[in-house]
């Protein structure tokens, strides 16, 4: 498959530009790289619940949270590998189309946690097209610096669920210590929110 | 209104609503037809059609993070699709409630239903989910009420198993 995919951007540089003020959001982080990304974005704050396993759950956790908290903005940041595992979630989310839910998929075209095997997106699968096909109307791809501004707009828009595909290089996000105690994170998240 | 004129399915729905369940995740299922259709028609709840049962684990745990109660409606054959994601429920000690219509048990005529049907309780229990079977109509309300208390009040993961003795075995 010959596609014009560029895996060049640095996730650590671009994600803060797409997200803006992280305090505005409740975050669900996928496992692996996006757990590190979201921990950095929120400075380890209690507005984040990041996975360490249970691969495939992030997008649907975002839907459950968005339905439960319609007045708060919910941002799911997940990886290509995790989303590929649960593509049906895009269909489920699109049918409900909550206006307070946004999804950023950080796509490096690889399964980084398991030794950087090439993922399906690294072989031509376009997750923005899949999100569109699922019926998500507000979508964007960000794979070069001139697309960042539009991507940030799509993340912020509030007339339906939005999906932004961020293509990045395999450069890892800087290591950041995180709490792997899911019970402590659950309780801290709820205590801060409820 | 006398409760004796209501079906047990209607009583289950009222009980879930009384206990503030507001999000109903479901996959299509004949045994859950009443709960599915009633939740879709109820403007006060979210009825979420899932493409696979594992989506329901994310849905229910996300709802809990946001302070709402959810229930997952599925069939025993779909329980197998949830197993790894139950890691999240177990490790995070999330309250979790699922109502499971059983296949491959009492009087089942389709041999394909037995492998997962017979394994359902064992695999749920292996992942830390407490299983409460309901064998008769008289069982259903006390069992669902117990499950609601054990999940949302005591913080456990609980599955109500609606057996084929209760639901009637599909004929083949």
- Comparing CA positions, the residue from A72, A67, A26, A86 lying closest to residue A50 is A26
Q: B8-167, what's its fold?
A: Rossmann fold (3.40.50)
CA-based nearest distance B68→chain A, Å: 6
Angle at B99 between CA B4 and CA B110, to 5 degrees: 100
Are the Cβ atoms of A64 and B88 closer than 8 angstroms?
Answer: no
Q: Is the pLDDT of residue B131 over 80?
A: yes
Q: Does the interface predicted TM-score (ipTM) exceed 0.90?
A: yes
- Which of the four pLDDT bands, split at 50, 70 and 90, describes residue B172? low
Q: Could you tell me the pTM of the whole model?
A: 0.96
Minimum CA–CA partner of B55 in chain A: A60
Give contacts of A182 with chain B, Cβ < 8 Å.
Answer: 88, 91-93
Closest CB to A61 among B62, B68, B87? B62
Minimum CA–CA partner of A58 in chain B: B58
What integer pLDDT is reported at residue A177 of this predicted model? 85
What integer pLDDT is reported at residue B128 of this predicted model? 98
Interface test with B, best of A25, A55, A61, A186 (most B CBs within 10 A): A61
* A52, A54, B68, B75, B129 from B126: Cα distances, Å: 20, 16, 26, 18, 7
What integer pLDDT is reported at residue A57 of this predicted model? 97
Closest CB to A57 among B50, B66, B88? B88
CA-based nearest distance B133→chain A, Å: 27
- Comparing CA positions, the residue from A51, A150, A56, A154 lying closest to residue A101 is A154
Q: Is the pLDDT of residue B115 over 70?
A: yes
Are the Cβ atoms of B61 and A57 closer than 8 angstroms?
Answer: yes
Give contacts of B57 with chain A, Cβ < 8 Å.
Answer: 54, 57, 60
Are the Cβ atoms of B87 and A54 closer than 8 angstroms?
Answer: yes
* E strand or H helix at B115: helix B114-126
The total of other beta-carbon atoms located within 10 Å of residue B159's CB is 26
Closest CB to A64 among B52, B63, B91? B63
Q: Is B23 on the interface with A (CB under 8 A)?
A: yes
Alpha-carbon span A169 to A7, nearest angstrom: 5
Minimum CA–CA partner of A83 in chain B: B55
What integer pLDDT is reported at residue B1 of this predicted model? 47
Closest CB to A68 among B56, B66, B84? B66
What integer pLDDT is reported at residue A175 of this predicted model? 80
Work out the average pLDDT over B106-124.
96
Give contacts of B56 with chain A, Cβ < 8 Å.
Answer: 60
What integer pLDDT is reported at residue A173 of this predicted model? 84
For chain A, what is the total number of helices (H) and then of strands (E)?
Answer: 8, 8
Which residues neighbour B82 within 8 Å (Cβ) at sequence distance 6 or greater?
A: B53, B54, B56, B57, B74
* Bridging pattern class, strands B96-101 and B46-49: unpaired
Q: What is the mean pLDDT of chain B?
A: 95
Taking only the tens of pLDDT, chain A with its 194 residues reads 557 999 999 999 999 999 999 999 999 999 989 999 999 999 999 999 999 999 999 999 999 999 999 999 999 999 999 999 999 999 999 999 999 999 999 999 999 989 999 999 999 999 999 999 999 999 999 999 999 999 999 999 999 999 999 999 999 987 888 889 999 999 999 999 99
Which residues neighbour A141 within 8 Å (Cβ) at sequence distance 6 or greater?
A: A128, A147, A151, A164, A165, A167
What integer pLDDT is reported at residue B170 of this predicted model? 65
Q: What are the residue boundaries of the structural domains of chain B, listed by start?
A: 8-167
Alpha-carbon span A112 to A85, nearest angstrom: 15
What integer pLDDT is reported at residue B5 of this predicted model? 73
pLDDT in tens, B134-158: 999 999 999 999 999 999 999 999 9
């Amino acid at each position: 498959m010959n596609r014009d995919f560029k895996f060049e951007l640095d996730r650590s540089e671009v994600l803060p530009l797409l997200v803006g003020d992280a305090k505005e959001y409740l975050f669900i982080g996928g496992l692996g790289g996006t757990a590190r990304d979201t921990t950095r974005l929120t400075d380890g704050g209690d507005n984040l619940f990041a996975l360490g396993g249970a691969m495939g759950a992030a997008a649907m956790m975002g839907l459950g949270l968005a339905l439960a908290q319609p007045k708060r903005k919910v941002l799911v940041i997940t990886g290509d590998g995790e989303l590929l595992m649960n593509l049906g979630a895009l269909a489920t989310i699109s049918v409900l189309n909550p206006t307070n839910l946004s999804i950023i998929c950080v796509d490096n075209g690889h399964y980084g946690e398991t030794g950087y095997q090439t993922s399906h997106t690294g072989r031509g699968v376009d997750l923005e097209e899949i999100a569109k096909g699922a019926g998500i109307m507000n979508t964007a791809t960000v794979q070069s610096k001139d697309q960042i501004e539009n991507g940030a707009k799509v993340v912020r828009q509030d007339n339906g669920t939005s999906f932004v595909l961020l293509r990045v290089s395999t450069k890892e996000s800087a290591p950041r210590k995180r709490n792997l105690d899911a019970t402590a994170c659950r309780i801290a998240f709820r205590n801060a929110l409820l | 209104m006398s409760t004796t004129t209501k079906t047990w399915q209607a009583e289950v729905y009222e009980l879930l609503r009384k206990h503030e369940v507001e999000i109903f995740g479901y996959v299509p299922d004949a045994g859950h037809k009443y709960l599915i259709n009633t939740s879709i028609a109820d403007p006060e709840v979210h009825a979420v059609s899932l493409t696979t049962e594992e989506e329901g684990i994310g849905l229910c745990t996300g709802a809990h993070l946001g302070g709402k109660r959810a229930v997952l409606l599925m069939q025993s054959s779909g329980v197998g699709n949830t197993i790894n994601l139950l890691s999240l429920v177990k490790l995070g000690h999330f309250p979790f409630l699922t109502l499971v219509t059983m296949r491959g048990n009492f009087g089942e005529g389709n041999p394909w239903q037995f492998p997962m049907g017979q394994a359902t309780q064992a695999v749920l229990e292996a992942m830390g989910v407490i299983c409460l079977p309901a064998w008769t109509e008289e069982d259903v309300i006390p069992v669902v009420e117990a499950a609601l208390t054990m999940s949302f009040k005591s913080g456990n993961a609980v599955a109500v198993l609606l057996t084929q003795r209760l639901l009637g075995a599909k004929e083949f």
